[in-house]
Amino acid sequence: MTERKEDEDSTQKLSLYFRDECKIKPDEALNVASYLYDVLGVVECDDIAFVEPQEWKTLLQQVKMTPVSKKKLLKKLNETREEPLKVEDILSEAPSAHAAQMCVSIFFFVLFFFFCAH
pLDDT in tens, 87-112: 888 888 644 445 566 667 777 666 66
Question: pTM for this structure?
Answer: 0.72
Contact indicator for 28, 5 with CB cutoff of 8 Å: no
Question: pLDDT: is 52 or 99 the higher one?
Answer: 52
Distance CA 62, CA 50 (A): 19
Cα–Cα dist 3/6, whole Å: 5
Residue 108 and residue 113: Cα distance in Å, rounded?
9
User: What span, in angstroms and rounded, lies between the C-alpha atoms of 64 and 103?
Assistant: 24
The answer to whether 36 and 51 are in contact (CB under 8 A) is yes
Q: What is the pLDDT of residues 64-92, one digit of tens each?
A: 999 999 999 999 999 988 888 888 888 88
Cβ contacts of residue 70 below 8 Å, gap of 6+?
60, 91
Greatest C-alpha distance within the chain: 69
